[in-house]
Copies of this chain bind each other. A is one copy, B any other.
Amino acid sequence: MKLYQNPKRTTWSELTKRPSIEQNILEEGVRTIMQDVERNSDNALYRYTQLLDGCSLDNLEVTQKELEDATVSEELASAIDKAYANIEKFHRSQLVEEPKIETTPGVTCWRKSVAIEKVGLYIPGGSAPLFSTILMLGIPAKIVGCSEIVLCTPPDTNGNINPAILYTAKRVGITKIFKVGGAQAIGAMTVGTKSIPSVSKIFGPGNQYVTKAKELALEKGVGIDMPAGPSELLIIADASADPEFVAADLLSQAEHGADSQVILVSDSEELIKRTKDAIERQLKELPRKEVAQKALNNSLSVSLENLSACLDFSNAYAPEHLIINTENVNKLASNVINAGSVFLGNYSCESAGDYASGTNHTLPTNGYARNYSGVSIDSFVRKITYQEITADGIRSLGPSIELMAEAEELQAHKNAVSVRLKALNNE
């Protein structure tokens, strides 16, 4: 972690820039895969699964028996239950019934949240089964009542899906699970194949191929949860913070990937120094220490004159995760402008939100916290507006509409009101 001592504000835009990611070289390859899926349906999926996942499948869909057989240890099942309950409780609290509003006598307007009918969840494969993401995406989809929830995840070389993934999907109530990964999975959910239904919105993390495929899905009219980027954490800590905790939090983010970014901002150079020492100690014990070390090389610590400047720096960076570990968190917390999710105090570690506290872990990275929210109940619905206007309502509001339509030179818009006013006058 490179240390910047009291960097001038004019340098902040440079300091808060994300490391640039190579792009575009992928596009052609991903486009080819997706076109192949569109043309050759399941055949293309079997072919790519053989080629890229190294397994030959008889069936793309996970069978009822495979689902039934999937188990995890009792302890893990109980941990998943606790996480499930918290995530469900918090996400249910986001359901709101909005009132009908009579904006003018006889003119009533309202909004209604309606579940997106068909959604697709992508869960990456690899050595570690990211079953927590199934909770984060599946629970809100279930709460709002999406009528079709499809899950795609790549199989291992034996054609199996990790039992923790299957168990969690079953626990959430997702039963349409397909052994397909990568760009071909996104392609299948975008256009639909013989086995895999097309969906209206695709959620979930993935490697650069999946990310590019989601961008191309967007071009085809499918919604996506949000643009993807490497995970990131910014911590604001003062002298009251425990350097061991701060170090552990920074490392928990750094282990995600070599391209993760972690930033420590503090008004205390002593805290920065002690955290650095703690990182060195803790790093040695980590199985993913090489990944974490690479991420730390991309990362920075910044000392600033006071906590208010620290928060300004954080708002300029717009972190996905923001931990505020200071003596008095409330004032800083109330002035956060740009962040995905905020963790307050000495005991609110990011891992809690990643797994089990109740908040969603699918959050805007790469500065997108300036203009995107994380996944929530809102991500799985459309808010449809309604209006009902009575004869009195159009009598009262009609002349204003006529005037405005005329001023915009849209005579037929005016006429839609005029024919009604005329009919009412003739009654």
Q: Tell me the chain A residues, 405-419 only, with Cβ under 8 Å from chain B.
A: 405, 407-419
> How many residues belonging to A are interface residues under a CB distance threshold of 8 Å?
129
Comparing A179-187, A269-277, A354-362, the segment that makes contact with chain B is: A354-362
Q: Mark A380-410, 1 if CB is under 8 A from B, else 0.
A: 0111111111110110010111011101111
B252–A384 CB distance below 8 A: no
- Residues in B with CB closer than 8 Å to A386 are 333, 341-344, 359
Does A140 belong to the interface (CB within 8 Å)? no
B411–A286 CB distance below 8 A: yes
- Residues in B with CB closer than 8 Å to A333 are 386
- Residues in B with CB closer than 8 Å to A127 are 409
A342–B72 CB distance below 8 A: no
For the complex, what is the distance from the CA of A244 to the CA of B78, rounded to whole Å? 64
Task: Select which of B99, B287, B336 is within 8 A of A409 by beta carbon.
Answer: B287
Minimum C-beta distance from A380 to chain B (A): 10
For the complex, what is the distance from the CA of A50 to the CA of B344, rounded to whole Å? 53
A404–B79 CB distance below 8 A: yes
Given A349-B420, A419-B245, verify A94-B116 contact (CB < 8 Å): no
Given A358-B103, A404-B80, verify A387-B245 contact (CB < 8 Å): no
B114–A86 CB distance below 8 A: no
A248-B419, A347-B389, A349-B420 are known; give 4 further A-B pairs, CB within 8 A.
Answer: A83-B404, A128-B408, A252-B415, A282-B419
The contact sample of 22 A-B pairs, CB cut-off 8 A, is: A82-B397, A86-B107, A89-B101, A89-B103, A93-B101, A103-B358, A114-B337, A129-B407, A130-B408, A132-B404, A245-B420, A248-B416, A251-B412, A255-B411, A255-B413, A286-B415, A288-B411, A342-B385, A343-B386, A344-B387, A354-B405, A354-B413
